[in-house]
Structure 1
Amino acid sequence: MSVTDRPDETTTAPRWTRYVAVGDSFSEGLWDDPDGRDAPQRGWADQLASHLSLRRTAAGLAPLEYANLAVRGRLLRPILRDQVPAALALEPDLVSVIGGGNDMLRPSVDVDGLADELERTVVRVRATGADVLLGTGFDVRDSPLVRATRARVAVYNTHVWSIARRHGAYVLDLWGMRSLADWRMWAEDRIHLTTDGHTRVAQAALVALGLPPERDDWDDPLAPLPPAPRRDRVLADARWLREHAYPWARRRLQGRSSGDRLRPKRPDPTPLV
């Protein structure tokens, strides 16, 4: 939803001509890999760009130009310091600045300090005339892995909404998405979204920008499944610890990131036809 008065986007083609996404694995689209793990990841930002471009071309306008500078593992400060200036050099009129999830995993994170830096960045982007799409964090109350971060995420979300109100930004409200409370929306690592999860977030992004979604059931909860047998849950937890939690903890101890030596998958704005 928009937090300021905006033109009625529901009856016109999207006005944006060049969209640049910055962020971490969420905006890179990690685990949304319909073409295989070795192909570039496709996520909600890519789907949003496609929707915007299709609506523009259907109205007889030029297709949207799109770049994605997000890289997995990035903390918020490097996103703001490195990716945002690179994004502004591309002269976009829409920039999504969504990050902070990796920061919230650290107990010593300075949430208020991060919010101050985010606000300065939003002011900088808005001064160019570009619109800004921010995003809240997920509600992690049902996640044994990151439930301890819930209070930090809630404080950060409050800052995001306040920043958006003060500077006329849009907000992708991930905390409020009911469908994301279902584990079927989450990948094997229990931190990133599945393809269906990314698809639903793309719909939420359209709504956040004041546009009608492609599907009315984008946030409907899934039909409940019967509880899994305890043995299956124990085996799944053990596999997750071995394949995901342990490698993540080892990288943390070694000061490494999953995104080390990775470059943005779509560094140049190109038309989406």
Structure 2
Amino acid sequence: MSRLFVAIGDSFTEGVGDWDSRYPNGVRGWADRVAKQLSKQDPSWRYANLAIRSKRLHQIIDEQLQPALDLRPTVVSVYAGGNDILELRTGITPLMESYEEMVARIAAAGARPLLFTGFDVRLHPVLEPMRRRNWIYNEHVRRIADAYGALLVDYWCFDEYHDPRFWDVDRLHMSPAGHRNMAAHVLRELGVDHALRSKPLRPRPSLTLAELLRKETAWWGEWVLPMFGRRLRHVTLGDHLEPRWPEPIHPADGLKRLAAERRAQPAANG
């Protein structure tokens, strides 16, 4: 009997930062990489990815959880709540109560939950309250993982992510190197041998103080302020996106080929 890996969540799981126009929604991501390696171990593995960028926990529960469980998965990966933590008006206690109910439903359905802590991102002092909220979130995730026998990828502990080359230019999403490295951590937690190898990282640029200040100013203008602006307007980057792999596929058939076939379908039907 074939096994099924289903990924739900937000931009972390959709693959934002690992940009590749050959894949659905223009991204690849760690989950696609994990699915490919699972298929190399056993070609009968199937894979679905329902994650969409910017989704909050209640949206992931309302829109993704039951469709995921209806697929009768073997493993369900969940990274959810990160976007809620950024909203200081959202209470951590009710948030984590909902998170635990979600994990309980996954376990009760007979699937193995695969959970993640959040990374201890070094933030500007203005954003320090969000960092403290992340610590509290992580403690809850560890407790819930233990209570429900979930696999836990303790992202908070991965020191290599202090290297900026593991991050995209927005500093909030992993770069291709970061996604590749995360896939290796997930496969290790799943107990799966894999062929993923770290590629040489690009050299670190040597910047003057003036260049660093310009870069910091540009980051605030291009990424941080627009993000909070979207929150005030109640719009997100995922509002018009569909899940990347809504129906189970066999990664052994080739993810790029499957994506190309899917892009060709509307033209063929038109």
Q: Does the Cα contact within 8 Å between 2:41 and 2:193 map onto a contact in 1?
A: no
Q: Deviations over 1:127-150 (max 9, x none)?
A: 121111011011013556744312
CA distance in 1, matches of 2:177, 2:168: 10
Given residue 131 of structure 1, which amino acid in structure 2 is its aligned partner? R
Given residue 100 of structure 2, which amino acid in structure 1 is its aligned partner? E
Q: Deviations over 1:158-195 (max 9, x none)?
A: 11111111111001111011111111111111111100
Equivalent residue, structure 2, for 1:29: 15
Given residue 47 of structure 1, which amino acid in structure 2 is its aligned partner? R
Bigger share in helix: 2
Q: Does the Cα contact within 8 Å between 1:203 and 1:214 map onto a contact in 2?
A: no
CA distance in 2, matches of 1:30, 1:146: 22
Task: Work out the number of aligned pairs and report it.
Answer: 252
Corresponding residue SS for 2:63: helix
Equivalent residue, structure 2, for 1:252: 231
CA distance in 1, matches of 2:25, 2:236: 20
Q: Does the Cα contact within 8 Å between 2:103 and 2:148 map onto a contact in 1?
A: yes
Given residue 246 of structure 2, which amino acid in structure 1 is its aligned partner? P
Equivalent residue, structure 2, for 1:263: 242
Q: Is the counterpart of residue 130 in structure 1 residue 130 in structure 2?
A: no
Q: Does the Cα contact within 8 Å between 2:116 and 2:141 map onto a contact in 1?
A: yes
Q: Measured at CA, do residues 258 and 35 of structure 1 come closer, stay the same or move farther in structure 2, by a change above 3 Å?
A: closer
Q: Does the Cα contact within 8 Å between 2:14 and 2:29 map onto a contact in 1?
A: yes
Equivalent residue, structure 1, for 2:222: 243
Corresponding residue SS for 1:132: strand
Using the TM superposition, name which of 239-248 and 85-94 deviates more. 239-248
Q: Is the counterpart of residue 173 in structure 1 residue 154 in structure 2?
A: yes
Match of 2:139 among 158, 170, 180: 158
Equivalent residue, structure 2, for 1:45: 31
Equivalent residue, structure 2, for 1:84: 65
Equivalent residue, structure 2, for 1:18: 4
Q: Measured at CA, do residues 73 and 39 of structure 1 come closer, stay the same or move farther in structure 2, by a change above 3 Å?
A: closer
- Once the two structures are TM-superposed, the CA of residue 236 in structure 1 deviates from its matched residue by 1.1
Q: Does the Cα contact within 8 Å between 1:140 and 1:147 map onto a contact in 2?
A: no
Q: Is the counterpart of residue 96 in structure 1 residue 77 in structure 2?
A: yes
- Once the two structures are TM-superposed, the CA of residue 37 in structure 1 deviates from its matched residue by 9.5
Identity %: 37
Q: Does the Cα contact within 8 Å between 1:137 and 1:174 map onto a contact in 2?
A: yes
| Gapped regions of structure 1 (runs ≥ 5) | 1-14
- Once the two structures are TM-superposed, the CA of residue 66 in structure 1 deviates from its matched residue by 0.7
Q: Is the counterpart of residue 148 in structure 1 residue 129 in structure 2?
A: yes
Q: Does the Cα contact within 8 Å between 1:75 and 1:102 map onto a contact in 2?
A: yes
Equivalent residue, structure 2, for 1:182: 163
Equivalent residue, structure 2, for 1:272: 251
Given residue 119 of structure 1, which amino acid in structure 2 is its aligned partner? E
Instruction: State TM-score, norm by structure 1.
Output: 0.84
Q: Measured at CA, do residues 147 and 36 of structure 1 come closer, stay the same or move farther in structure 2, by a change above 3 Å?
A: farther
Q: Does the Cα contact within 8 Å between 2:180 and 2:198 map onto a contact in 1?
A: no
* Stretches of 4+ aligned residues off by more than 6 angstroms: none
Instruction: State TM-score, norm by structure 2.
Output: 0.85
Q: Measured at CA, do residues 247 and 209 of structure 1 come closer, stay the same or move farther in structure 2, by a change above 3 Å?
A: same
Kindly report which structure 2 residues correspond to 1:198-237, keeping only aligned pairs within 5 A, or say none: 198-212=179-193, 214=195, 225=204, 228-237=207-216
Q: Does the Cα contact within 8 Å between 2:24 and 2:244 map onto a contact in 1?
A: no
Q: Does the Cα contact within 8 Å between 1:33 and 1:39 map onto a contact in 2?
A: no
- Once the two structures are TM-superposed, the CA of residue 91 in structure 1 deviates from its matched residue by 1.3
Q: Does the Cα contact within 8 Å between 1:16 and 1:93 map onto a contact in 2?
A: no
Equivalent residue, structure 2, for 1:6: none
Q: Measured at CA, do residues 129 and 260 of structure 1 come closer, stay the same or move farther in structure 2, by a change above 3 Å?
A: same
